[in-house]
Structure 1
Amino acid sequence: MLRWIANWAVHHAVTPEKQAEKALPQLRLELYQAEQRILDAQMHADYYRARLAFCEEVIKNGIEQVADQRKDQQDTSQASRPGLKLTAAQ
């Protein structure tokens, strides 16, 4: 009986390999979440960078000129974008 208990303990003992295998899914999740936080922070920084540039441009050139400039850019981007062409089913 003692031999059986000893063999069972040897086969079911926690080894570094088993610990690493058990920790792997949690570590992958933590890495994914950390990368998501980085992407969110970059997007947040880009948003404020764009707002800052817009406000500086308004102060420098005035709102009318900035609005006209943005409207022209918007019209150009819509014109250069290929439209969706629907064809009748044959």
Structure 2
Amino acid sequence: MSDDYETALVRITGRVQGVSFRVWTRNEALRLGLAGWVRNESDGSVAALIAGPDAAISTMMEHFWHGPPGASVSSVEKQPTTLAEMPTGFRITG
């Protein structure tokens, strides 16, 4: 892995379920060249694992604050994480 590569686990809260947040996240991530997954959590939040170049991660973090139409984001929390290997593609897991 190069120095400009990052992985992060992100938790987004607010009105983020029932507004196509997962589909929007997958589309944005693919457009930015990121890999990983996104899923709804039982507490009403959305969790995402994003992996890719630092610049793309930074852009995605900014985009999370806006989300798709109908979303109202109240917080975006990022935790750096380490993966044994890079995920391929970007999928909705739950």
Please say whether Structure 1 and Structure 2 have the same fold, judged by a TM-score greater than 0.5: no
TM band (smaller chain)? under 0.3
- Specify which structure has the bigger relative contact order, considering alpha-carbon pairs within 8 angstroms and separated by 6 or more residues: 2
Report the structure, 1 or 2, having the larger strand content. 2
Whose radius of gyration is greater, 1 or 2?
1
| TM-score, normalising length: structure 2 | 0.20
| TM-score, normalising length: structure 1 | 0.21
Report the structure, 1 or 2, having the larger helix content. 1
